[in-house]
Amino acid sequence: MKCSVRKGDLTQEACDVLILNAFEGWKTFGGATADVDKALNGLLSKVAQEERFTGKPESSLLFYTHNLIPAKRVLLVGLGKKEDFCEEAVREASAIALQKARDIRAKTIVSILHGAGNGKLPARQAAKAVVEGCLLGGYEFLKHKSKEQSQKNPLTIELVTRNSKIFRQAQEGVTLGEVFAKATNIARDLVNEPSEHLSPAHLVESAKKMVQETKGKISIRVYDRAQLKKMGAEALLAVARGSDQEPFLVHMIYKPAKAKKKVALVGKAITFDSGGLSLKPPEFMETMKIDMAGAAAVIATMSTLPILKPSVEVHGIFGTCENMPSGKAIRPGDVVQAMNKKTIEIFNTDAEGRVTLADSLSYATKQKPDMIIDLATLTGACMVALGEEIAGFMSNDKKMTELIEKAAEQSGELLWELPLEKRYRKLIESSIADLNNVGKSRRKGGAITAGLFLQEFVDDIPWVHIDIAGPSFAERPLNAYTKYGASGFGTRTLLEFLRNL
């Protein structure tokens, strides 16, 4: 799929489909949609009325132009209520348009710049949102389908505006939208890949390949079992013990010349979570290939840095292994020591993410960054609290809380703060070690006790923990551009965060 922006007149564009729009409850069309209606002698509005096109989100109307204008068809899409209008509405409308255009096997698509006129969005944001909607909405994971092939003919999407003043901005928006969406789709590919094809070693290979493609702009260090032992990463090694797969710790570095800040991004990277000896019931295990979605977002984010060129030093870190039961597996009641010397009593081997993160976060802390963000598919409890679309986040720092909230808002990803309540700290005490890996309250407040556990490994460095267990994987469509499967959640928030610094 190729996206671009051009100056032009939509009434004069030859293409398979011309995408236009209307708000919910429309009486007359506005902007370029009105111009095209005029060129069609008012037929478009007539048909739209007859067909009761509402303009609601996800509504659409396909109209054959019969050579009245050079475009073969017009596809009208609904933007929803004008008062609710925002970038998210543009993403969703663009995704719907792309999917409808693909259904009719269109090859050339010309689109109005949704929202840049009547919607009053800055052209840069409008263009970015259109491109994100198209590229995310057009995503498919067909690698393991033997027959069903994606439509092979490459689609081209041209955004056309007659306003030459906003052209530059729109062009910037297209480039940004492409970077954001492609990165998100990289994360989706990694998360959708079954564990058999994405072992810890495969995940390391993916990171190395990404780094290679940056031609020296990003460097990488990979620590294997022997090196992890020397470093004292006993917590990661303990979780890895039950599996036949080798564990690794990966450290990617992006270091621009005049960096203002140093940020560490840490991802949970369990390539399959069976629960270990505290084995999960079958239906809870079905989608546990997704338990490396945090690391996927980190790898995807790193891949964009040579293009986005933020003036921050970024360290991408993940400790990866598989959580399996076997004669060698860690047992409930065992005690392990993390890299920062704190000891952990393992009561439940299914709370393995926080145990591996104990070492990844200790390692990140040793790099002395100005801030740390970790992303982890950490707790079912977070999903119970916030549902499938909203990630929970916790932070030890007010300023970082504000920064992450702003970034999430810009990205369209939903984040909600949970308290790192000090009074719950007693719940993760152990009678024989420094910490217990599960809260004494069991599932009650489980996302928070997990956050409090992680806090023990970041010292006083400003830190945000994002629990992405809910939104990482869509078991049903979450919105027009996130259908069944991996969502790539977190990638776009991280990118906005880094760009804002």
Closest to 337 (Cα-Cα) out of 346, 328, 329, 326: 346
User: Judged by CB, which is closer to Zn ion: 306, or 325?
Assistant: 325
Q: How wide is the angle at C-alpha 82 spanned by C-alphas 78 and 84, nearest 5°?
A: 100
**Residue 389 C-beta: closest distance to ligand BES, Å:** 13
Q: Helix 31-39 crosses helix 43-50 at what angle (to 10 degrees)?
A: 100
Nearer Cβ to Zn ion, position 128 or 268? 268
The conformational region for residue 106 under phi > 0 = left, psi -120 to 50 = alpha, else beta, is: beta
Look at residues 132, 212, 186 and name the one whose alpha carbon lies nearest to residue 300: 186
Shortest separation between residue 239's beta carbon and Zn ion, angstroms: 9
Residues 417, 395 contacting (CB under 8 angstroms) = yes
Question: Residue 273, interface with Zn ion (CB under 5 A)?
Answer: yes
Is 354 one of the catalytic residues? yes
Q: Rounded to an integer, what distance in angstroms lies between the CA atom of residue 452 and that of residue 448?
A: 6
Nearest to 127, CA basis, from 257, 221, 6, 264: 6
Pick 378 or 480: Cβ nearer ligand BES: 378
Query: In this structure, are residues 407 and 497 in contact, taking their beta carbons and an 8 Å threshold?
Result: yes
280 is annotated as an active-site residue: yes
Among 153-161, 180-188, 269-277, 354-362, which window interacts with Zn ion (CB under 5 A)? 269-277
Residue with smaller CB distance to ligand BES, 310 or 392: 392
Pick one of 92, 132, 352, 359: the residue that binds ligand BES (CB under 6 A).
352
Residues 378, 268: contact at Cβ < 8 Å? yes
What residues from 369 to 408 belong to the interface with ligand BES (CB under 6 A)? 377-381
Q: What is the nearest approach in angstroms of ligand BES to the Cβ of residue 443?
A: 7
> Residue 163 burial (CB < 10 Å; 0-12/13-18/19+)?
middle
Among 92, 189, 291, 456, binds Zn ion (CB under 5 A): 291
Q: Which of 162, 280, 342, 499 is catalytic?
A: 280
Instruction: Enumerate the β-bridge partners of residue 3.
Output: 157
Residue 6, beta-bridge partner list: 160
Q: Is 189 in the site for Zn ion (CB under 5 A)?
A: no
End-to-end CA distance of the chain: 31
Q: How far apart are CA 451 and CA 182, in angstroms?
A: 30
For residue 256, the tally of other CB atoms under 10 A from its CB is: 15
Question: What's the Rg (C-alpha) of the chain?
Answer: 24
> Binder to ligand BES among 228, 314, 351, 435 (CB under 6 A)?
351
Which of ligand BES, Zn ion, none has residue 379 at its interface (CB below 5 to 8 Å by kind)? ligand BES
Instruction: Kindly determine how many residues on this chain lie close enough to bind ligand BES according to the rule CB under 6 A.
Output: 15
* Segment interacting with ligand BES, rule: CB under 6 A, options 61-69, 301-309, 350-358, 427-435: 350-358
Residues 340-359 that bind Zn ion (CB under 5 A): 350, 352-353
Residues listed for the chain: 501
| Cα–Cα distance measured from residue 191 to residue 387, given in angstroms and rounded to the nearest whole number | 20
193 binds, among ligand BES, Zn ion, none (CB under 5 to 8 A by kind): none
Q: Which is nearer to Zn ion, 315 or 354 (CB)?
A: 354
Is residue 374 a contact point for Zn ion (CB under 5 A)?
no
Between 3 and 381, name the residue whose CB sits nearer to ligand BES: 381
Residues 449-488 touching ligand BES, rule: CB under 6 A, are 469
Question: To the nearest whole angstrom, how small is the minimum distance from the Cβ of residue 296 to ligand BES?
Answer: 13
Strands of the sheet containing 343-345, edge to edge, are 335-337, 343-345, 435-436
- Show the binding pattern over residues 248-287: x = contacts ligand BES (CB under 6 A), - = does not: -------------------------x--------------
| From the list ligand BES, Zn ion, none, partner contacted by residue 461 (C-beta under 5 to 8 A by kind) | none
Q: Which two tokens stand for residue 275?
A: 């629960």
Q: Which is nearer to ligand BES, 178 or 273 (CB)?
A: 273
Q: What crossing angle do the helices spanning 491-500 and 293-308 adopt, rounded to 10°?
A: 40
User: Measured from the CB atom, is 313 or 352 closer to Zn ion?
Assistant: 352
State the minimum distance, in angstroms, from the CB of residue 352 to Zn ion: 5
Active-site annotation, residues: 280, 354
Q: Which residues bind to ligand BES, rule: CB under 6 A? A: 273, 291, 348, 350-353, 377-381, 438, 446, 469
Interface residues toward Zn ion, by CB under 5 A: 270, 273, 291, 350, 352-353
